[in-house]
Chain A
Amino acid sequence: MKKITILTFAVLGLGLVAFTNHGGGIYKTNTGNINFFSHTSLEDITADNHKVKTAFDATSGKIQFSALIKDFEFPKALMQEHFNENYMESTKFPKSTFSGTIENMAAVKTTVDGIYTSKVSGKLTIKDVTKDVSTVGKFTVKGGLVNTKATFTINPEDYNIDIPKTVSGKISREIKITVDADYRHAH
């Protein structure tokens, strides 16, 4: 009887230790940053969104983003107007989403301070067009906060973003997207 009790406690204890070390659960923020940058010899265009909603599941590695298109702020109001009305049709297609996986989630120890990397891949939807994208994410864990940084490029034509010939020289076919978000444990 005593042996069974000791064994039960040992198994429970080991399970608890394993769970604690893994650091599962949902990490979330509503204040993530996404920047996009277009460089051509004629003009550089950049815009920022600081209210990106994003979360990841530290057990399964599932990661999701949702960003409102009208929330991208440009240095110039006219650029912002053209972006929303002419290119993104943001009243009709108000958000962009990403749903994917942190492929090597086991290597990202969300309860141990350190810097980790993992391939992140999934589906990016812009203007109701969904394409596969992948990149390498850098995860910096410090004091329970998980900062994630990643960059990748997209071609606007892949997402039905029509660029008129009159301005085609000013908008790159390789838009650099930079993601930077500080996640906190949600529950």
Chain B
Amino acid sequence: MKKPIILIVLFLIIGSVLYAYKMYNKPHTDVVTTDAAETVSAEDIFAAFDNDEAAAMLKYADKVIALEGILLSKDLSNELEPQIVLDGNGYDGYIRCGFKPEMLPKIIALGENNPISIKGICVGMNESEELDLLADKDVVLSNCTLID
């Protein structure tokens, strides 16, 4: 009678340790293989954040979002994360998308002022009314990938 109990307890302990180890080492979201939770235009996601940031955070943040918009510029000034900028509202609103460094050759090949489709994890809108030097508004996506 004692033996089965010891075996069950041992099984539970080993199971818990394995589960904890798996959780501790779980990988980051792979944007390439994850289906987009939402597909939206650059203008629409920018308007959602600009109108109600708190509601947009609840709707889009931490999710893989597929986005279509016009590529305004490439910002390759930080080799650790090449970035592109899409038009958000035609004047002071943008979508800033960060890529892994290995994506650099594909980013360089992109043509500016052309339509583009990307997928990435939404991390929020970088703007602050109190900071006058940083008046532009950027909805930011990370770990982006290009959609063919």
On whether the beta carbons of B81 and A31 are closer than 8 Å, the reply is yes
The one of B58, B83, B128, B133 in contact with A30, judged by C-beta atoms closer than 8 angstroms, is B83
The CA of A15 and the CA of B83, in the complex, are separated in Å by: 40
On whether the beta carbons of B25 and A68 are closer than 8 Å, the reply is no
Main SS of chain A's interface residues? strand
Given A30-B83, A68-B124, CB of A53 within 8 Å of CB of B134? yes
Residues of A in contact with B, size category? 35 or more
On whether the beta carbons of B75 and A30 are closer than 8 Å, the reply is yes
The CA of A26 and the CA of B25, in the complex, are separated in Å by: 44
Q: Report the nearest B residue to A48, measured CB to CB.
A: B80
Which of B8-16, B26-34, B40-48 lies at the interface with chain A? Answer: B26-34
The CA of A66 and the CA of B131, in the complex, are separated in Å by: 8
The CA of A94 and the CA of B131, in the complex, are separated in Å by: 15
> Contacts of A20 on B, CB cut-off 8 Å?
none
On whether the beta carbons of B96 and A51 are closer than 8 Å, the reply is yes
With A64-B131, A70-B124 already in contact, 11 other A-B pairs whose C-beta atoms are closer than 8 Å: A54-B134, A55-B133, A66-B126, A66-B131, A76-B24, A77-B29, A90-B124, A94-B125, A95-B128, A97-B130, A182-B77
Answer whether residue B102 sits at the interface, using C-beta atoms and an 8 A cutoff. no
Residues of B in contact with A, size category? 35 or more
On whether the beta carbons of A78 and B80 are closer than 8 Å, the reply is no
The one of A32, A73, A94, A99 in contact with B124, judged by C-beta atoms closer than 8 angstroms, is A94
Given A77-B27, A78-B26, CB of A50 within 8 Å of CB of B77? no
> Contacts of B53 on A, CB cut-off 8 Å?
94
On whether the beta carbons of B75 and A31 are closer than 8 Å, the reply is yes
The one of A76, A91, A99 in contact with B131, judged by C-beta atoms closer than 8 angstroms, is A99
